């Protein structure tokens, strides 16, 4: 009987711990100003655009992908991601990276790209008869 209560209590503790973790993960702040990103030691979602002039680097040995991104004010920062380049990265209109700024660059845990919509309204072309 005692084991049944201990097991139930254990399950409740695990559930509450998981809920607490998920709650703290959902409170990640979006930052579009890299000055705030650089001065923050917490996990943030930095939004900006890829600096195409600086290109990107795929390091197959260390399995990292790095690039530079700029915020809405033009401030740039280097982003290093432990993983592969997203498929649609080169066509992205904006980038959202989740992670922390450490040792002079942003360590991304996740990269989301926003691409131009194929559903945007296209100009109507008139046909001449």
What domains lie within the chain, and their CATH numbers?
Answer: 25-114 (2.40.50.140)
pLDDT in tens, 7-56: 888 889 998 888 877 776 656 778 888 988 888 888 899 999 999 999 89
The CA-based dihedral angle spanning residues 32, 35, 36, 40, taken in that order and rounded to the nearest 10 degrees: 130
Separation between Cα atoms, residue 37 and residue 30, nearest integer Å: 9
Strands 44-50 and 94-102 come out as antiparallel
3-state secondary structure of 89: helix
pTM over 0.95: no
pLDDT in tens, 52-97: 999 899 998 989 999 999 998 999 999 999 998 988 888 888 999 9
Long-range Cβ contact pairs of 27-32 (< 8 A, separation 24 or more): 28/98, 30/96, 32/71, 32/72
Of 83 and 117, the one with more pLDDT: 83
Distances (CA, A) of 62 to 55, 90, 92: 18, 21, 24
Q: Which of 119, 52, 123, 111 is nearest to 82 (CA)?
A: 111
Phi, psi of 107 (to 5 degrees): -95, 105
């Amino acid at each position: 009987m005692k084991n049944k209560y201990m097991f139930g209590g254990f399950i409740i503790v695990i559930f509450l711990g998981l809920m607490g973790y998920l709650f703290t993960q959902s409170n990640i702040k979006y930052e579009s100003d890299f000055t705030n990103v650089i001065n923050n030691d917490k996990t943030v979602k930095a939004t900006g655009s890829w600096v195409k002039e600086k290109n990107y680097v795929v390091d197959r040995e260390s399995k990292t992908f790095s690039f530079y991104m700029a915020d809405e004010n033009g401030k740039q920062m280097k982003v290093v991601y432990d993983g592969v380049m997203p498929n649609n990265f080169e066509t992205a209109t904006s980038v959202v990276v989740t992670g922390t700024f450490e040792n002079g660059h942003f360590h991304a845990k996740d990269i989301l790209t926003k691409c131009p919509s194929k559903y945007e309204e296209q100009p109507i072309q008139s046909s001449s008869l």
